[in-house]
A and B are shown apart, each in its own frame.
Chain A
Amino acid sequence: MSTVLEMKNITKKFPGVLANDNVCFSADSGEVHALLGENGAGKTTLMNILYGLYQPTSGEIYLKGRKVEITSPKVAIENGIGMVHQHFMLIPALSVVENVILGMRQRRGAFLAIDEAAAKVKDLSARYGLAVDPHRKVGDLSVGERQRVEIVKALYRGADLLILDEPTAVLTPQETDELFGVIRHLTAQGHTVIFISHKLNEVKAISDRVTVLRQGRAVTTVKTSRVSKEELARFMVGKEVLFDIEREPLEPGAPVLRLDQIEADNDLGLRALKNVSLEIRQREVLGIAGVDGNGQRELVEVICGLRKASRGTVWLGDIDVTNASPRRITELGTAHIPEDRQARGLVLTMTLKENLVLHDYYRPPFSRGHFLNWKEIRDHSRRLIREFDVRTPHEDLLAKNLSGGNQQKLILARELSSQPQLLVAMHPTRGLDVGAIEYVHRKIMEQRARGAAVLLVSTDLDEILSLSDRIAVIYEGEIMGILANHQVDIGEIGLMMAGVKKTAVA
């Protein structure tokens, strides 16, 4: 194997942050090189430098032994580098081919050679086992399919070296397996893949070598087969990591949330929730397990007032909040960690302090009459940033400049600071490193101990099992059964997730 890429002594300074500190990184042809590190360790920054989105403060990049200046993504693409970003950059209103050729220079005059491009997309799909239909609208595709479009887009532009920034964070286990198939196809044909992930199992499964970053520095580069999961975690965090969290037994109190025969439609007007009834009490975590897209999103939206229920009742305590406004539901003590932090949870182009009062800005002490009280807002923000350990130089940073994990902490800080009665958490640890996951889990357990009721939606069965007192399995909008955690049998949950009903309800 020959070395295709060498990044030497890369340093990148942002105002107040040293994101990369003298990092050396290399990749061989045909290898999968994993990049591992805590949230904010500088992985995305390093790759953005390679892709020409950022210029390094100092350091050099060599491709196949030749020194290159990658001044823009265009130069990166010309040098055979492709990148699939942590957050996709496709245009939903356009078709797959249109997205693929978007922004490319057309060789033949002003006309878009759509058919020709579509043929090439088909060709690429077949070659690398990427099933995508070039004529579908991107908006209609699932997350996994969109990701394949991103990969095709990079390959179409002639990428030999493919950077995948946390590609699996949003995928179901099946989709992840499919992605791994694609990656194996790619490396078999001589492509090099740089793979960023927080999931140690995945890193173990797919990569040949691992480089670990910690606080901007490259701690080590090792052959994957020579290290254990625990060792990798220690490299990342710098200390032992607990993979399991203690769930102390607590006596549940009064019911906080009750759903009674709820029905609701999804965005396409199809029935997404069928006759859903459930109850969560104080000091209790109810986990919703199920394959993504089985009505979890609609369930959460109905509870939070973001979607109309066509039938049934939602009770918060003894107040009927069916189809109440989101604001009223929040005011009654509901906090919500949304599924998609970038689309919903944050306003990326606004500052941290503005994001921290996104729900409470209109109430004292943050507002007096019609006017905002910036001093209060600033003090409040500083308090939360300290308390929740959001890594940032100051509260005037734009939210988009935080690393993914710190963005999640920001949301947590906002939602938990109101001491909610009910916490609705959807995929709360998606894209977080092992240390941060431990942190989030601890915070959720704290809320439970404080007396809150928690609805936890996750596709990660381990997470559900370790946090929930009871587990409800949802399949095509129906609750297949609710089990107490101690009587759970994984095989049974698996069956229920596939649509086999359970009769005895815990």
Chain B
Amino acid sequence: MAVGAAIIRFMGLDPVSAYRALVLGSVGNLNAVGETLVKAVPLMFTGLSFAFAFRCGLINIGAEGQLYMGGLLSVCAGVFIKGLPALIHLPLALAAGFAGGGLWGLISGWLKTRFGASEIITTVMLNYVAIYFVSYLVTGPLKAPPGNFPHTEPVAVTAELPRILAGTRLHLGFIFALLAICFYYVFLWHTREGFELRVVGQNTEAAKYAGMKPSSSIMTAMFLAGGMGGLAGAGEILGVQHRLMQAFSPGYGFDGIAVALLGLNTPLGIFLAAVLFGILRSGGNMMQMMVEVPIALIYIIQALVILFVVAQIMAKPSGRRRLRSFLRDFRLFEASGGAGRIGSRG
């Protein structure tokens, strides 16, 4: 924060009023709080996306692509299916979003278990595929007829996530995000499959020896990770945008990585980190409007927050070791010529 202030001062602006704007814009009034939480919703989902895979020893950089595919399928369900009551239509659209992201994640899982392809590479590549695919659809086949705007028809009202706080844009997706966090906790720490997933993530050899099947855990993890990414997209579409357009995500998928790391991949941590990033995001807009601090500064602050967390982990020997083994994996990954053996290390 102090560093951020120094930068603002350096730019010849007033840091105090800048931060006041940040706070006002994020929690200053009901509307601001709503906006903050609206921003936090997709971040919770994408944070969970990274975390699910990470718990299984996988690095999922693909939440962004999963988000687009989730958005795409949920919009299809929202637009083309008509005449259903909201009670059925909305869950259906959400499920479509989950499935869209989940299947996208499964592709990486399958490539990994079948061919040993690094999920880091495949998820990144699938991001591009998804983003350009959606661009193509909304500028071509799915473009709404009148006008030249590259977006689809709006989804049916019955598929929209209803607002839950009068006077704000906060929608039911927030509740679903909280449920997803609960699901994350219950699944990993209270179910057999979750236990297997964590064992595989921590020690694949021991998992095999204990009679578990690492490949099925990897598939499960990538499906759930993708599903969470998909829900991020579905929530954003059904709750905020109501239609699919190009580039509708300002990088929620990538911020999710930071959210998960900052939250140490724990349920509560992910929630808090997502809210913090929500604050920075929504307050940042206000800061830009009122004090003319460029939004890029928010990214700097975000990066600083992450650096501080990393530094704090580094201060503890145990954390240092964890981080080191994380980095070692990366080096290993490079050393093996990008053919990628992370996760399958024995």
Q: Is B206 at the interface (CB under 8 A from chain A)?
A: yes
Write 9 A-B pairs (CB below 8 A) sorted by A numbering: A54-B317, A326-B208, A336-B209, A347-B203, A348-B202, A359-B210, A367-B192, A370-B192, A371-B191
Q: Is A245 at the interface (CB under 8 A from chain B)?
A: no
Whether the Cβ atoms of B209 and A345 lie closer than 8 Å is: yes
Q: Find residues 324-375 in chain A having any chain B CB closer than 8 Å to their own CB.
A: 325-327, 330, 336, 338, 343-350, 354, 358-359, 361-362, 367, 370-372, 374
**Complex: how many Å from CA A456 to CA B220?**
38
**Most-contacted residue by chain A among B207, B211, B336 (CB, 10 A):** B211
Query: What are the residues of chain A within 8 A of B210 when measuring CB–CB?
Result: 326, 358-359
Whether the Cβ atoms of A362 and B190 lie closer than 8 Å is: no
Residue on B with the closest CB to A341?
B206
Q: Is A91 at the interface (CB under 8 A from chain B)?
A: yes
Query: What are the residues of chain A within 8 A of B195 when measuring CB–CB?
Result: 354, 361, 372
Q: Is B331 at the interface (CB under 8 A from chain A)?
A: yes
Q: Is A53 at the interface (CB under 8 A from chain B)?
A: yes
Residue on B with the closest CB to A52?
B317
Whether the Cβ atoms of B211 and A370 lie closer than 8 Å is: no
Residue on A with the closest CB to B189?
A372
Query: What are the residues of chain B within 8 A of A336 when measuring CB–CB?
Result: 209
Q: How large is the interface on A (under 10, 10 to 19, 20 to 34, 35 or more residues)?
A: 20 to 34
Q: Is B205 at the interface (CB under 8 A from chain A)?
A: yes
**Complex: how many Å from CA A344 to CA B199?**
11
**Complex: how many Å from CA A218 to CA B104?**
60
Q: How large is the interface on B (under 10, 10 to 19, 20 to 34, 35 or more residues)?
A: 20 to 34
Q: Please, what's the 1-or-0 string for A120-138, where 1 marks a CB less than 8 Å from any CB in chain B?
A: 0000000000000000000
Q: Is A488 at the interface (CB under 8 A from chain B)?
A: no
Query: What are the residues of chain A within 8 A of B336 when measuring CB–CB?
Result: 93
Q: Is A440 at the interface (CB under 8 A from chain B)?
A: no
A91's partner among B198, B205, B206, B332 (CB-CB below 8 A) is B332
**Most-contacted residue by chain B among A336, A348, A362, A367 (CB, 10 A):** A362
Binding site for B on A (CB under 8 A): 53-54, 91, 93-94, 304, 306, 325-327, 330, 336, 338, 343-350, 354, 358-359, 361-362, 367, 370-372, 374
B206's partner among A53, A347, A367 (CB-CB below 8 A) is A347
Q: Find residues 232-249 in chain B having any chain A CB closer than 8 Å to their own CB.
A: none
Whether the Cβ atoms of B206 and A344 lie closer than 8 Å is: yes
Query: What are the residues of chain B within 8 A of A93 when measuring CB–CB?
Result: 332, 335-336, 341
Q: Is B14 at the interface (CB under 8 A from chain A)?
A: no
Residue on B with the closest CB to A327?
B211
Binding site for A on B (CB under 8 A): 189-193, 195, 198-199, 202-203, 205-211, 317, 328, 331-332, 335-336, 341, 346
Nearest-neighbour CB distance to chain B for A269, whole angstroms, equals: 17
Whether the Cβ atoms of A347 and B335 lie closer than 8 Å is: no
Whether the Cβ atoms of B190 and A91 lie closer than 8 Å is: no
**Complex: how many Å from CA A361 to CA B206?**
14
Chain A interface mostly? loop
Query: What are the residues of chain B within 8 A of A325 when measuring CB–CB?
Result: 211
Whether the Cβ atoms of A371 and B190 lie closer than 8 Å is: yes
Whether the Cβ atoms of B209 and A344 lie closer than 8 Å is: yes
Known: A91-B328, A361-B195. A345 touches B206 (CB 8 A): yes
Query: What are the residues of chain B within 8 A of A354 when measuring CB–CB?
Result: 195, 199
Query: What are the residues of chain B within 8 A of A304 when measuring CB–CB?
Result: 209
Whether the Cβ atoms of B192 and A330 lie closer than 8 Å is: no
For the complex of A and B, 4 pairs with smallest distance between CB atoms: A327-B211, A326-B211, A358-B210, A347-B203
Query: What are the residues of chain B within 8 A of A326 when measuring CB–CB?
Result: 208-211
Query: What are the residues of chain B within 8 A of A338 when measuring CB–CB?
Result: 209
**Complex: how many Å from CA A288 to CA B341?**
34
B199's partner among A91, A345, A347 (CB-CB below 8 A) is A347
Nearest-neighbour CB distance to chain B for A146, whole angstroms, equals: 15
Query: What are the residues of chain A within 8 A of B192 when measuring CB–CB?
Result: 361-362, 367, 370-372
Known: A326-B211, A345-B206. A370 touches B191 (CB 8 A): yes
Query: What are the residues of chain B within 8 A of A372 when measuring CB–CB?
Result: 189-192, 195
Whether the Cβ atoms of B211 and A359 lie closer than 8 Å is: yes
Query: What are the residues of chain A within 8 A of B332 when measuring CB–CB?
Result: 91, 93
B190's partner among A54, A346, A359, A374 (CB-CB below 8 A) is A374
Nearest-neighbour CB distance to chain A for B311, whole angstroms, equals: 15
Whether the Cβ atoms of B191 and A343 lie closer than 8 Å is: no
Nearest-neighbour CB distance to chain A for B188, whole angstroms, equals: 10
Query: What are the residues of chain B within 8 A of A367 when measuring CB–CB?
Result: 192
Nearest-neighbour CB distance to chain A for B335, whole angstroms, equals: 5
Whether the Cβ atoms of B191 and A347 lie closer than 8 Å is: no
Nearest-neighbour CB distance to chain B for A88, whole angstroms, equals: 13
**Complex: how many Å from CA A371 to CA B190?**
6
Query: What are the residues of chain B within 8 A of A344 when measuring CB–CB?
Result: 205-206, 209
**Complex: how many Å from CA A304 to CA B195?**
22
Query: What are the residues of chain A within 8 A of B198 when measuring CB–CB?
Result: 350
Nearest-neighbour CB distance to chain B for A157, whole angstroms, equals: 17
Nearest-neighbour CB distance to chain A for B189, whole angstroms, equals: 8
Whether the Cβ atoms of A306 and B209 lie closer than 8 Å is: yes
